Amino acid sequence: MSAETRKLCFRTYQNLVDENIAVRVENYDQVYLAAARLDDSAEKIWQRLQDKPPRKFKGYHSISVSDVLVYNKEGVITSYYIDKDRLIVLAGFIRLNSSSALISMETDDFKVEGTKGNWIAADEIIVDGRQFFLLQNDVYKDDVPYVVVSEDGKIVTDESKGFDEITIQKLRDFLHPQEKPLPVPEKPQMEQWQKYYENGEYLRSAEMTEEQNYNMIDGRMNNISSAKQSKQTGKGRTSVLEKLHRKQKEIAIRSGKQQPEQVMGADMERNRK
């Protein structure tokens, strides 16, 4: 620890503000790193470190005023300055070095198309390894919503009340856009012969034994059985073959010729001889 850094130890946050001294990460060393518990909060961690410092704690002294607690909760990183009886959120404590970074906590002249005045960085947050800034209009102040931009100047939302749950969800949607599912194409209307092949061998075989015509092979047993058809034919319908036999008999009688069955009988008798 340098002599210059030592002068900043154990000072309240208000004292630093009064002397216009910024709390910068380069003035600090990391002395402890551990995984948070499921029910943890920044306050619980602070209290636990005060009550019983862990064995791996490598600080020059126990945790106290002027130390900084950095808490990563589900990818959202927040830095806290430890004051006498409270934790104070530090904006811009951790700065991610990026070659495309255009915005920082010193930004005071960001322009938003269609709005009057400049936008000034008022707060920052790190979500899933990306840094975002909350900008306030220097003309309208709190009378208009904040604008949230990424470190490279891309506007995420221009309707923010601060880094609340709604804004953080918008940041996650910005970082992890979900692809829209492709529309399911409608199934084209099939011809009867196409249905025949699609229905499968078992169903085709079952239908072929029941349906009257192949153009009825459509996956449904929608024809009446052949037995029922025979009954209906016997009741009121005459088969085409029976009509043909009757017609042949009438012609044979009028012409004096033998009936077909008589001719067949005579032929059979000659064959026996």
Q: What is the pLDDT of residues 121-135, one digit of tens each?
A: 999 999 998 999 999
Q: What is the mean pLDDT of the chain?
A: 79
Q: For residue 157, which phi and psi values (nearest 5 degrees)?
A: -155, 145
Domain boundaries, the chain: 3-90, 119-175, 192-254
Count of C-beta atoms within a 10 Å radius of residue 26: 6
Q: What is the mean pLDDT of residues 100-126?
A: 89
58-76: burial string, b at 16+ Cβ within 10 Å, e else: eeeeebeebbbbbbeeeee
Q: What is the mean pLDDT of residues 45-64?
A: 86
Q: What is the pLDDT of residues 142-173, one digit of tens each?
A: 999 999 999 989 999 999 999 999 999 999 99
Dist CA 203 CA 206 (whole Å): 5
Amino acid at 118: N
Contact of 135 with 117, CB cutoff 8 Å: no
**Is the per-residue pLDDT at 195 higher than 80?**
no
Output the pLDDT for position 265.
53
The runs of H, that is alpha helices, within the chain are 3-6, 13-18, 42-51, 165-175, 192-198, 201-210, 226-236, 240-255, 260-272
Q: What is the mean pLDDT of residues 256-265?
A: 55
